Amino acid sequence: MKLLTVPASRGAQWVLLGLRAFASRPMLYMSLIGMWMLLAIVVQLIPLLGTIVMWAALPLVTLGFMLTTQQVLQGAPPSLQVFVAPLQGDPRRRRTLWQLGAIYALVMVVVIGGFALIVGNDVVMPTPPPPGSNAPPPALDPRLQTGLLWIGGTTVLLSVPFWYAPALVHWGGHSAGQALFSSVVAVWRNKGAFIVYALTNAAAVLLVALAASLLIGLLGASSQQTAMALMVPVAFLMMAVFYASLYFTYADCFGPPTASEPTA
């Protein structure tokens, strides 16, 4: 495997390639997004443990969508088993994927714990203010704003080592530490492309949000609920395009997986 460098403009092309892959198999991607969201909701019904399990599964989910796009490009029959396929191969790689999941879940526990310490129990579990009180609502508490910045910043930083780590384990046979390190190096060396990639995704989200706001504003009150309901599949569609584009970021930074490397 070779670590490659791409121009910054490639970031916008990753989004377009993801859109093209999605357009070729829209029902496949939407089914995977729907299945993942449903499983996440069901698992989180288990107090505390369910959330930790969901966090641990996230690296495997990103790998599953990379494998999906690989299948689409190869013209392989669509499969809904891409999330579990990496766990059915080489035992060493399977153990490493579990290690990545455990590391991710552990770090997320620290992140959420830091958020709780920043905001305090009175913001996390607020009590109703007494009648006539002029206390500001919890949403305006400065500690909550700081806590949200902590969540956003740490989540972005956490995404860097885990962006490629599952794929490097599955396709490159890396150890957990080596995969995390190589992911950081790859993202840093291609930071220009990733900045453009992030800005392009953000612009797409803002355009869709603006269009939705205009549509809801133009509709009467009786139709606004229908418009809001239509936003759910639109949000799923945008998530699907994002996940479909992940494979192209890997293929450009490390080269497409060869025929000798495992697939789904």
If one compares 13 and 115, the residue with the highest pLDDT of the two is 13
Domain residue extents for the chain: 10-126+137-254
Mean local confidence (pLDDT), 40-55: 88
Q: What Å distances lie between residue 69 and 21, 114, 162, 163, 182, CA to CA?
A: 7, 36, 18, 16, 22
Angle at 145 between CA 143 and CA 150, to 5 degrees: 90
Q: Does the structure show a pLDDT above 60 at 264?
A: no
Contact indicator for 66, 164 with CB cutoff of 8 Å: no
Q: What Å distances lie between residue 12 and 200, 202, 214, 220, CA to CA?
A: 6, 11, 26, 37
- pLDDT tens digits, 152-168: 899 999 999 999 999 99
If one compares 203 and 116, the residue with the highest pLDDT of the two is 203
